[in-house]
Structure 1
Amino acid sequence: MLHDDMSLQYLAISDCEALSSFPECLSSFVHLTEINLSNCSALKMIFPGVGLSLANLRTLTIYNCKNLKSLPNGMQKLTSLQELTICSCPALESFPNGDMPPNLTSLEIWDCDGIDGCLSNWNLQSLACLRDFSIAGQCFADTVSFPDEKCVLPTTLTSIWIGRLPKLESLSMQLRSLAYLEELEIVDCPKLKSLPREGLPPALGRFSIRNCQLMTKRCSKEKGVYWPLISHIPCVEIIDGNDM
C-alpha cells in the first residue's frame, strides 16, 4: 500500500511478482520526482492514464520487468523527466521514438529485445539537453555503423556507452560533430574494425575499448594503425578479453 503522504518524492517498487498494473492512486502524488521499478514480472504497462499527471517526475528507472509491453502514451508531456533508464525488459514492444520526453539529460536502454533498435527512428536530435547516452543488447544487433547516416545525435552529448553490438564494424564520422563529447566507451563489439579517418571528437578525454578483438592491435600504443588518431587523448583504454 502506498503511503498517504501526498508529499512523497521517491517511490521504489521491487520484487512484486503479482503486481500487474500500476496503482491509480499514483496520480495523487504530484510531488514524485523519482520512480524505480525492478523485478516486477507480472507488470505489463506502467501508470496508464496516470503518468502524464506526474509533472515533477525527474527520474524513471525500470529494471527486469520481463512482461512489460508498453510505456505510456504522450511521453513528450513529461517535461520534467531528465533520466530514463530501461534495462532487461525483453517484452517491451512500444518505445517513445519521436515521442521522447524533451528534456532528457540521460537515456539508457539495455536488453530490451522487442523494441525497434533503429536509432534513426528515435528522433534523438530533438533531445536538446541530452548528455549521457547508453545502449546495449539484441535489439541493436543490425547496427553496422554508429551512428548510421540517417541517425543524428544531439550535439550536447558528453558521454556515450555502447555494448554488445555483434555486427558493429565502424564508428562514423558524424561523431566528429559532437564537440562536447568527453567519454566514449565501446564494449563487446567483436566486428568493430574502423574509426573515422577524420579522427574522434576533439574534446574527448577518455576513449575505452573493451573486448573488441579486431581493434586491440589497430589501437595499440605506437604500433597500431589508429594510434595517430587517438594518441592525443588523455585517457586511452584498450582492453582485450584475455587481459581481464
Structure 2
Amino acid sequence: MRISNCPRMDYPFPCGLWPPNLSTLFIGGLKKPISEWGQQNFPTSLVTLILYGKNSGVVSFAKVEDMRNSSNTTSPSFFLPPSLTYLYIRDFTDLESLSKGLQHLTCLEELVIVSCPKLRDLPVTLLPSLSRLSVDSSSPELRKKCHRNGKYWHIISQIPDHQLY
C-alpha cells in the first residue's frame, strides 16, 4: 500500500485498523503532519515499512509496552511490529534517537536512514543482526559516531553491506 505525496489528504489515520495482511507500506508527505496522526499500531504482518516524514513534527518509535504506559500526547509514538525486515526512514527533521524504539525488531535485516539531521543515536543492540545498513551524513553527530574510530564503527564494520555517505 502506498499513501504518499497527497498534500490535500487530511484524513485521520487508522490507529490500528490497517488491513490485516498488509505486508508493505509506504506512507508520508501528506497534509497532516505525522506528529498529528496519534499513536499508530502498524499490522503485525508488515515486513516492509517506508516512512517519509517531511514536515512530520516530533515523533518517536516505541515498544507496545511503552505506548500502553505513556500519557504523552504531544509526541505520538509509533509501534513498529517485530515482523519488519526492512525499514526506511526519510526526512524526519526532528527525530533525535532510534536507540530505544527499535530494539524489539529482531527480524530486521535492512535499515536505511536518509535526511534526519538531528539523529544522534542508533539501536546498538539491533545493529549486529543487520545485513544492510545505509545512513546518510545529514547529521554531523551521527556521522562522527558511524565512521572509523566512532562509537558505532566496531559494530557497523561487521555488517556485510554498510553504506555511510
Settle same-fold status: TM greater than 0.5.
yes
Match of 1:130 among 46, 53, 64: 46
Change (3 A) 1:224 1:156: same
Match of 1:102 among 10, 20, 39: 20
Q: Please say if 1:237 is aligned against 2:155.
A: no
> Identity rate of aligned residues, in percent?
36
Which string of whole-angstrom CA distances, capped at 9 and with x for unpartnered residues, describes residues 88-141 of structure 1? 1012121222221111000111211315446762222xx121000011133522
Q: Please say if 1:228 is aligned against 2:154.
A: yes
Q: TM-score, normalised by structure 1?
A: 0.56
For 2:119, the equivalent position in structure 1 comes to: 192
Structure of larger gyration radius: 1
C-alpha RMSD of the superposition: 2.2
For 1:90, the equivalent position in structure 2 comes to: 7
Which string of whole-angstrom CA distances, capped at 9 and with x for unpartnered residues, describes residues 129-174 of structure 1? 100001113352212x444743321111000000111111111334
Match of 2:30 among 81, 87, 112: 112
Structure 1 unaligned spans of 5+: 1-83, 240-244
Structure 1 distance, partners of 2:128, 2:36, is 27
For 1:81, the equivalent position in structure 2 comes to: none
| AA matched with 2:10 | E
Structure 2 distance, partners of 1:119, 1:231, is 37
For 2:139, the equivalent position in structure 1 comes to: 213
| AA matched with 1:168 | L
Runs of 4+ in 1 over 3 A off after TM superposition: 115-120, 145-149
For 1:176, the equivalent position in structure 2 comes to: 103
Q: TM-score, normalised by structure 2?
A: 0.80
Structure 2 distance, partners of 1:230, 1:86, is 32
Q: Alignment length, in residue pairs? A: 151
Structure 1 distance, partners of 2:99, 2:38, is 14
